[in-house]
Amino acid sequence: MSGGTATAVLPAPDLRLRPAAWHRPSVALAVGMAALGAVTAVLVVVDPREITGLAAWAKPTKFALSIALYAATLAWLVGQLPPGSGGRRWADRAATTAVLGLVVEMVIIVGAAAAGTTSHFNVSTPLTAALWSVMGASIAVVWLMTAVVGVALLRTPGTDRARRVALLSAVALGLVGMAVAVLMTMPTPEQQASFTGVVGAHAVGAPDDGPGLPFLGWSTVAGDLRVPHFVGMHALQGLPLGLLALELLARRVPALRDLRVRTRLVVVGALTWGALTGVLTLQALSGQSVVRPAGAVAVVGVAVLVAAVATAACTVLAGSRRPRGATAADAVGDLSEPSAGPA
């Protein structure tokens, strides 16, 4: 301290962004999927075929890019665990199993696109029904293995509270987002009334091949469960990135140097993300398009956002009013705590 005022010592805002500690099979999958996404993106342009109203290679492209992002995040999450620890060994095995499950899924998706047919919900022949079952099983395995990584993170102490809350909330909300996909596998009333070789749908209240947003395909005339699925899953990236932003801003905003302020802001962010995922799920199930929010959905959505902004502002304001010496002391006491284990 100097002149009665403590100087906060903030950790490097990297959340262990050191690739040497990351899970290598997940890194390899991320690189492979990024390359595959580039190839299929070219095929979107050169192959004129369409499947359910979209370019035949649009789905492989979207899934390749999504899996690349997920795999990179998984590699990084595992890298948060100390090498050689029991939690790291369990997480390594779980992540490797998840990688294998995702490879199986992508092989089926690419194969279906090459054959000019759908990969999802297709039970029109014994072969396509079997492949759809394999896809469902592989994704269930990925979900379970992601949960195992989350448990390993939960049982590993050492990171400061804000980082811990961000990591665990990201995994929990990511799992919720992934679980939304289960709702897509339910047969629609039309499918129950007349079997057409399809069981399940993305859209609620309209056919899957109806009008949709470019590339994404999300319905512009009905509900679409892909929206909450997407938003929930990407809490895996959004919440940790939000924390990194707070740690960077702490260099310029004194209130954010207080660990308690950052932790509360992460909690606000996690609760808001979860609430919006819930609102989007209810919107989709009610048959309302994400581009046309109305009624209770619009009111609740706006209320969630207003409450989040107000709570975050009050949190920062309260932190800025605390005695500077106390704020800095809190930062030193908690933020200088090293991450668990060597990287």
- How far is residue 121's CA from residue 230's CA, in Å, rounded to a whole number? 18
Q: What is the DSSP string of 89-120?
A: HHHHHHHHHHHHHHHHHHHHHHHHHHHTS-SS
Range of the domain at 163: 19-335
pLDDT below 50 — which residues of the chain? 1-9, 11-13, 325-343
- Any domain includes 10: no
List CB contacts of 11: < 8 A, sequence separation 6 or more.
Answer: 160, 247, 335, 336, 338, 339
H/E run at residue 50? strand 50-51
pLDDT at 281: 96
DSSP tally for the chain: helices H, then strands E: 12, 4
- Any domain includes 13: no
CB atoms within 10 A of CB 52: 20
- Any domain includes 343: no
pLDDT at 321: 78
- Any domain includes 3: no
Q: Is the pTM of this model over 0.85?
A: no
H/E run at residue 204? strand 203-204
- How far is residue 108's CA from residue 130's CA, in Å, rounded to a whole number? 11
Phi, psi of 225 (to 5 degrees): -70, -10
Please name which of 153, 172, 12 lies closest in space to residue 80, comparing C-alpha atoms.
153
- How far is residue 64's CA from residue 235's CA, in Å, rounded to a whole number? 18
- How far is residue 222's CA from residue 209's CA, in Å, rounded to a whole number? 11
- Any domain includes 134: yes
- How far is residue 171's CA from residue 109's CA, in Å, rounded to a whole number? 25
- How far is residue 252's CA from residue 137's CA, in Å, rounded to a whole number? 48
pLDDT at 332: 39
- Any domain includes 126: yes
Q: Residues 226, 218: contact at Cβ < 8 Å?
A: yes
SS3 53: coil
Phi, psi of 212 (to 5 degrees): -150, 170
Please name which of 274, 171, 277 lies closest in space to residue 229, comparing C-alpha atoms.
277
Q: Identity (one letter) of the amino acid at 322?
A: R
- How far is residue 295's CA from residue 303's CA, in Å, rounded to a whole number? 12
- Any domain includes 127: yes
Please name which of 231, 135, 220 lies closest in space to residue 180, comparing C-alpha atoms.
231
Q: What token pair was written down for 263?
A: 């932790």
SS3 26: helix
Cα–Cα distance list, 314 to 90, 111, 321 (Å): 40, 53, 11
Q: Residues 148, 94: contact at Cβ < 8 Å?
A: yes
How many folded domains does the chain comprise?
1
Q: Residues 233, 174: contact at Cβ < 8 Å?
A: yes
- Any domain includes 110: yes
H/E run at residue 219? none
The separation between CA 230 and the C-alpha centre of its own chain, rounded to angstroms, equals: 7
Q: Residues 148, 130: contact at Cβ < 8 Å?
A: no
